Chains A and B, each alone.
Chain A
Amino acid sequence: MQETVPLLQVEQVSKSFGSNQVANEVCFSMSKGEIGCLLGPSGCGKTTLLRVIAGFEAIDRGQVHIGGKIVSTSNLSVPPEKRSIGMVFQDYALFPHLTAIQNIEFGIRNKASRLRKEKVKTMLDLVGMTEVANKYPHELSGGQQQRVALARALAPEPELLLLDEPFSNLDALLRDRLTVEVRDILKDLGTTALMVTHNQHEAFSVADKIGVLFYGTMQQWGCAYDVYHRPASLEVATFVGDGALIRGRVTGPGQVQSGLGLLKGNLSLPCESGCDVDLLVRPEDVLHLDEAQVQAKVIHKSFRGPNILYQLELPSGEQCRALVSSHHNHTIGEYIGIFPEVDNLVVFPRKLQESPSE
């Protein structure tokens, strides 16, 4: 049993705007120094949850603890300025009338001048923005604004840093670089942080723990590996990664018969023999071998440099995808041999009358 108090604890939080339930009995917790990420399609309630934790929204039921103290219940809401949180906003929310330095100083204005100067300098060094210290936000590029916003949020040394889609306004290249950088900075400082994003690659590269939210319900809270390879629900399985679902039938312990042939591995659910299931097949699970038994027809292909993503039609008429080295260049309409290599068989019991779809 873990004895230390979690730094952030969200207990059965429910919240609705009118008839729209944006958080439904959400539970999760984070220990000190962890980086968490709330992942989900837009409108799933993840930003609302972040704003609940920040103290901008009241909750209908449940509790939120930060650092062991209760900050939100159905009839109490500690104001944001008293929660010891820092926040990085989607469009940075830098104060346009203050320079980069003044923005960073804003949260530590009550500290002694010497301490303040030192802190600002440390922060500027940390985010690599020393040379633009005296510029105004409108004179900074998107990436620079983002770094200043991060420095501003971190300067007061908050117990918990909240990041609301922090990279969504940046171009892809910069985003990849900054996600890694931000993770390094947060880990260096040992800051506990919770980020919200709809981009799973961001989540994978930054977070220790990922929470997948759908329609206000926390589907899964776990590490990236689990979320990807052991999705807890059909929604998670289809939202994370680009897997396909194909029909299968459990024929024995750890055995599933499907359009890809007989698959053996650890079943994600204890299923009895003869049970009809939907099986998750990731593109990297499907290997290409010319002489393989199963021959599938190429429907679509997209060239991705090192590999090609093929959309294939199985003999059973179902479709799946295969990620194949780009040396194997096949044309559309051609039949290619494939075989599955799946260790963890992610299966979901099939509901009646429901045809499997992507």
Chain B
Amino acid sequence: MQRYFSRLSIRPDGWQLSAVILAGLVAVPIGIIFASLLQPEQEIWIHLSETVLTSLLLNTFWLSSGVLLCTACLGVSLGWLTGACSFPGRSFFSWALTLPMAVPAYVMAFIFIGVMDFAGPLQTAMRTLPGFERTIIEVRSTPFVILCISLTLYPYVYLLSRSAFLSQGRLLIEAARTLGLTPLAAFWRVALPMARPWIASGLTLVLMETLADFGAVSIFNYDTFTTAIYKAWFGFFSLQAAAQLSSVLVVFAIVLVLIDTMYRSRMRYFSSARSSSVHSRITLRGGKAYAATCYCSIVVIVAFVLPVIQLVLWVIKAGGAGHLPNYMTQTGRTLLLGSGAALLTCSAAIILSYAKRKSPGTLNLVLCKMSTLGYALPGTVLAVGIFLPIAWVDNHLQTLLQYIFNIQTGPLLQGTVIVMLMAYMVRFMAAGFGAVDSAMQGISPSLDEVAALMGVKGKKLLLTIHLPLLRKGLLTALILLMVDVVKEMPITLMTRPFGWDTLAIKVYELTSEGEWERAALPGLYLVMASIIPVVLLIRQSEK
């Protein structure tokens, strides 16, 4: 027994217990969805395969491959230009190119449709041109969905590949050149292969986000698993069908997590110890420099500047027509939810990271890994996975209360903010844990030992040594979490208390009625709220 304990490094203490509970919170929804995969309901599947399954799979396939291709091209090329080259405006673009992260995919989607739809200004203008009078471009089609989602997701690949190119430094490129490679050949043969783990990891994130996307595809009326799950639940009131569909996405998610883990473990070996120095960049001159500046400008303009301008124009137009409530309640709720979820998740991340630091044994590592799996789960799936056990607990609680106290209560947990916060925590734990844990790893273990020699241990150690050192990491974590929660749509939509509209929900409701102009203000609020954290993040990464 003792040996078994030590092999798994089970050291029952408060930290480990908390880690077990947190891991359990994530494991339950995944487990429940997974269980429904293992007990397939014949009838539902026959019905699904007869009706929607083929088109769902095809749509998902085309969307994923298209978005992967686009984000890879955009992200890697931009990452290389700003990370390894030097051209006019580079330092501006190196942060400006991350701004599109602040535009939620669904906001981008309704701007796309609003501007480029048949009745929109672009096509109307096009029809006035000779020869194009009868041309109709279908915006609600695969290429446009791909473009729209890629423009908001490429920053993942961009940021990771940029940091890869930065961390490679000049040295290896110079080594390659002394071995007879031209700068371009050195990029293809050394820089790119070495950046592979980062690029792959960025692409995995992109794929997860694409599979998880709900808002953009529903605005485009492009059926994927996420919209099908929502329709199954709220359209046909079949939670079972929703669970069955979810299980397909869970399988995808697990595969992606495995791929991501594999590539991340390789990064360590692929980075060189020294960081780059000041005059290490490839200086682009003349036409090349001009082309680089143009390319970066176009991306920033198309993915960020134009969408924001369009939102502002719509807001002004709607304001002039007097259609404009100020959405203060929704904004307040969004911020409340964002900060609440960020604080909750951050505290949980500290607990996990601390448990791992105190006894980095197999058990704690597994618990940490498990607790952060939620990032791979689409919000719709997670909502189903959380709702099922909560409903079950609620039912039994009600029966129990009636049996003991003979009181009739309604559902106690369903549709409360607690469920929402829990769902957010599960979904976004990885972002918080990643930031907190990397900061925690930056604290040398010998500091703990020095403190222990002076009699500082346990909670005191955490308060006097670790928390002050973690401050920067915690701030990053809070910022990241805020953005994520504020932008989040499907979990909010599916688990919110009745009437609890947030900005994202308002966007969903208004866009489903084609009210682009009225949706512009909440959309703009969302973009503004997301910009602040993105800018803070950029500033922090540049320090």
Contact = CB atoms under 8 A, between A and B. Distances in A.
Interface residues of B, number: 24
Contact of B182 (A81, A97, A152): A81
A95 B171 contact: no
B444 interface: no
Contacts of A79: 177, 182-183
A94 B194 CA distance: 12
Q: How large is the interface on A (under 10, 10 to 19, 20 to 34, 35 or more residues)?
A: 20 to 34
Contacts of A96: 194, 269-272
A87 B171 CA distance: 11
B143 interface: no
Contact of B273 (A81, A91, A156): A91
A56 interface: yes
Nearest to A80: B177
Nearest to B268: A138
A88 to B, nearest CB: 9
A17 B171 CA distance: 20
A226 B172 CA distance: 37
Contact of B269 (A17, A56, A136, A158): A136
Contacts of B284: none
B181 A81 contact: yes
A94 B273 CA distance: 11
A89 interface: yes
A137 B268 CA distance: 12
In terms of DSSP, what is the predominant structure of the interface of chain B? Answer: helix
A107 interface: yes
A106 interface: yes
A62 to B, nearest CB: 20
- Which residue of B180, B269, B272 has the most chain A CB atoms within 10 A of its CB atom? B180
Contact of A81 (B171, B178, B193): B178
A89 B175 contact: yes
B453 interface: no
Interface in B139-186: 171-172, 174-183
Contact of B180 (A17, A93, A138, A156): A156
Interface in A92-147: 93-97, 106-107, 110, 136-138
B190 A95 contact: yes
Contacts of A94: 175
Contacts of A89: 171, 174-175
A54 interface: yes
B352 to A, nearest CB: 28
B539 interface: no
Contacts of A106: 176, 179
A85 interface: yes
A86 interface: yes
Given A89-B171, A91-B171, A95-B172, A152 B179 contact: yes
A153 interface: yes
Contacts of A110: 180
Contact of A87 (B175, B190, B196): B175
B274 interface: yes
A158 B179 CA distance: 9
Given A93-B272, A96-B194, A96-B271, A87 B174 contact: yes
Contacts of A55: 177
Contacts of A93: 171-172, 174-175, 272
A85 B182 CA distance: 14
A86 B194 contact: no
Given A89-B171, A153-B179, 12 more contacts: A17-B279, A55-B177, A56-B174, A87-B175, A89-B175, A91-B171, A95-B172, A95-B176, A95-B190, A97-B194, A106-B179, A107-B178
28 contacts: A54-B178, A55-B177, A80-B174, A80-B178, A81-B179, A81-B182, A85-B178, A86-B179, A87-B175, A89-B171, A91-B272, A91-B274, A93-B171, A93-B172, A93-B272, A94-B175, A95-B194, A96-B269, A96-B271, A97-B193, A106-B176, A107-B178, A107-B179, A110-B180, A138-B269, A152-B179, A153-B179, A156-B179
